[in-house]
Amino acid sequence: MNSMHPPLHEALELAFNLSPVGMCVTRERAVEICNPAFAQMFGYEQADLLGQPLAPLYPSLDEFAHTGQRGLPAMQDTGGFSDERIMRRRDGALFWCHVVGRTLDRADPFARAVWMFEDISARRPVNTPLTVREREVAQHIVTGATSKQIARHLQISHRTVEAHRGRLMRKLGATTTGELVALLLGR
């Protein structure tokens, strides 16, 4: 082997550890291994996260559970899932994060999966405190989902979605849905 090229496992370890985005491997939605960028993004030391559930990285246990419920069918169907969601740092600060994951086994997607987390708070800041349900509704609004689609996803009534949309618009000072989306996206 050419001495100029490190063995593949060394190169993969280097890429994992120096990646500018957070990466982790999970078992049953608990951190098996993570890179320094992942730990730093959430305000932890790597060792503090190993073997720990992902739940404390979410704003609430409901959002952790709901995200799992949304991701499971996609991972079973395609082997992967991605979205943009609000996450929580160790100090309690909330931030928007782009998340992409792949499962190793579609039959049991959470048994073991690989995830990439990108902090997108620079372009999409969390400026206004929102309730759990407002965050869930906002997450769907930015994808272009209608109130009826959001209601089906969240298993709530269409009118409840409309009420949350109205509160979001008042809290963020939006006069149209387009303006609300722009504000939620940090534009």
Q: What is the pLDDT of residues 28-71, one digit of tens each?
A: 999 999 999 999 999 999 999 999 999 999 998 988 998 999 89
* pLDDT over 60 (residue 1): no
DSSP one-letter code for 139: H
The lowest-confidence range among 83-92, 96-105, 122-131 is: 122-131
Where do the domains of the chain lie, and which CATH numbers do they carry? 8-119 (3.30.450.20), 132-184 (1.10.10.10)
* pLDDT over 70 (residue 161): yes
Beta carbons of 31 and 51 less than 8 angstroms apart? yes
Mean pLDDT of 116-120: 96
Contacts of 126 (CB under 8 A, 6+ apart): 86, 94, 95, 96
Distance of CA 40 to the CA centre of its chain: 16
Tell me which range, 24-38, 85-99, 158-172, is most confidently predicted by mean pLDDT: 24-38
Helix %, strand %, coil % of the chain (to 5): 45, 20, 35
Q: How confident is the model at residue 79 (pLDDT cuts 50, 70, 90)?
A: very high
Q: How confident is the model at residue 173 (pLDDT cuts 50, 70, 90)?
A: confident
- Bridge partners of 116, per DSSP, are 23, 100
pLDDT of residue 29: 97
* pLDDT over 90 (residue 166): no
Task: Enter the pTM of the model.
Answer: 0.73
CA separation for the pair 46, 26 (Å, rounded): 14
CA separation for the pair 55, 110 (Å, rounded): 14
The lowest-confidence range among 30-34, 47-51, 91-95, 154-158 is: 154-158
DSSP one-letter code for 53: B
